[in-house]
């Protein structure tokens, strides 16, 4: 805990030119109009990290960046996916795509709401990629970004006792 506090205290030293998609700024409109999408992605990251304890920040950021790049080309009308190097990154990318597709389906069923565009999804993924780059501690096995997401989304894994399915009656 002390090391995280120390790293947070020296967090003013962020070089924004090294942040992925440095030219893109996510506007407050994204948070107001598409909070549900941000929640779906953030909770999806937390859920996947809870199920795959070996996931580290660099894997999560790589998967987010690749997905954002895919949606960036898709918004231009070109379908292209850059292959990921590691199995865990690929699985996270697939999991997040499924979560986004499920959210899009739910969003399209709401009355009076327009369908979610690919550039909106791209901006949400860019936002998480940028936050990940700013919140990671740069260590190969670091999980500072994932821990940050767990705190922000108040996510907790189900304990073994609560997920056992056993009901004990007096």
Alpha-carbon gap, residue 56 to 112, rounded angstroms: 40
How far apart CA 13 and CA 18 sit, in angstroms, is 12
pLDDT band at 3 (very low <50, low <70, confident <90, very high): low
Whether the full predicted model's pTM is greater than 0.95, yes or no, is: no
- pLDDT tens-place string over residues 140-159: 888 989 999 998 888 765 44
d(CA 31, CA 39): 10
pLDDT at 129 over 80: yes
Residue/partner pairs of 81-90 with CB below 8 Å, 24 or more apart: 86/59, 86/62, 88/52, 88/54, 88/55, 88/59, 89/59, 89/62, 89/63, 90/63
How far is Cα 90 from Cα 87, in angstroms, rounded to an integer? 5
Do 58 and 136 meet the contact criterion of CB atoms below 8 Å apart? Answer: yes
For residue range 20-47, list pLDDT tens digits in order. Answer: 887 888 888 888 888 889 999 999 999 9
**In 3-state terms, the chain is what percent helix, strand and coil (to 5)?**
60, 0, 40
Q: And the tokens for 58?
A: 């660099």
State residue 8's pLDDT score.
57
């Amino acid at each position: 805990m002390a090391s995280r506090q120390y790293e947070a205290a020296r967090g003013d030293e962020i070089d924004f030119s090294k942040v992925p998609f440095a030219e893109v700024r996510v506007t407050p409109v994204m948070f107001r109009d598409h909070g549900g999408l941000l929640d779906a992605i953030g909770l999806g990251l937390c859920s996947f990290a809870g199920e795959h304890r070996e996931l580290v920040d660099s894997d999560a950021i790589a998967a987010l960046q690749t997905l954002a790049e895919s949606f960036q080309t898709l918004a231009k009308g070109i379908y292209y996916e850059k292959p990921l190097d590691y199995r865990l990154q690929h699985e996270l990318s697939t999991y997040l795509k499924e979560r986004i597709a499920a959210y899009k389906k739910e969003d399209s069923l709401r009355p009076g709401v327009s369908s979610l565009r690919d550039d909106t999804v791209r901006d949400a993924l860019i936002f998480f990629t940028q936050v990940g780059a700013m919140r990671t501690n740069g260590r190969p096995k670091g999980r500072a970004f994932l821990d940050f997401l767990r705190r922000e989304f108040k996510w907790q894994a189900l304990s073994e006792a609560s997920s056992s399915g056993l009901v004990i009656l007096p």
